[in-house]
Amino acid sequence: MLWDIRTRMKLALHLVDLIPDVQLTPALTAVVTMRTVLLCLLMGLSNCGLAPRQTGGDVLVIGDSVMAWNRSGAGDIGSVIEAELGREVVNRAALGAQIRASGLGTLGGLSIPDQLSGGPWNWVVMNGGANDLGVSCGGIRCDAEIDLLISKDGTTGAIPDLMTKARQQQAKVLWVGYYQAPNSMSFKGCRPGLVELERRIADFAGTQDGIFFIDSEDVFETTNLGLLAADRTHPSAAGSAVIGRFIAREIARRSQP
C-alpha cells in the first residue's frame, strides 16, 4: 500500500513520540541516531525535522530533540512560540541532531547547521551540543569536542560559525541552554561539559550584536517531574510549554523598537 506524505508524516511523528518510554544512554546515542536516519528514509521523508523547507520567514527553530519533542500533538516548543506570539514559526529541529554531524548523521535533518535554510529570517532560535558530546565522548566532559564546538575564548568553532551565518541572513539569534534533568540516565556524564559549553556560548553572545543566550534552567523547575517526559530527559508537553513561553517572552522583549 502506498501512503501519501501526510500519512507517512503522522506515522513518523507517532513513532518519535513513543521513544520517551525507552531509557537512552550515551553509549546508545550513535545507534539511535542511525535508527533515526533509517526511519526518515523508510518513511520517505527528506527531513526528520518534518517541517517543509522554505527559504525564509519570521521565526525559525533549529536544534535537537528538546526542540522537536511533542510535535505530533502540536505541543513542541516551536508551536508554543507560535501560539504565544501569533507569529509564523517553522520548527526544523530533529531527534538526534548534532552541531558537528558527519557521515549518515548529515541525513534526515540531523545536522543542525543544515537546518538553517536560506533566509531571510527575523529570528533563529537554536540549541544543541548534547548529542555531539554523547556521540563523540560517550557522555564525559570531553574538552577536545567542546573546543571544536566553541573555543575557550568563544571566538571560533562550529557554534559561533552557525550563529554568524544566521546573523549574515539578517536574523536575530537566540540560543536556548539546556535544563537540568537530575533523574535522567541519558547523557548523565555530559552535565559538566554542557555547563562549560553554555558558559562559553553565553560569553560569546554577550559580545555580539543581535545574538542572545537564555538558560532554560531559569524557568524549568527540576523538582517538578511533570515537566519531563517518561524518559526523564525530554520535556513533557507541559515542559515544552514552559520553555516555549520563556522563549516567546524573550523574542517579544527583544523585538520591541
- For 43-101, the pLDDT digits (tens) are 444 344 445 556 678 999 999 999 999 999 899 999 999 999 999 999 999 999 999 99
Residues of the chain with pLDDT under 70: 1-55, 136-141, 257
Q: 223: phi > 0 → left, psi -120 to 50 → alpha, else beta; which?
A: alpha
The pLDDT of residue 257 is 67
pLDDT tens profile 162-176 = 999 999 999 999 999
Its pTM stands at 0.81
Which domains are present in the chain? 5-255 (3.40.50.1110)
Burial, 108: exposed, middle or buried (Cβ in 10 Å; 0-12, 13-18, 19+)?
buried
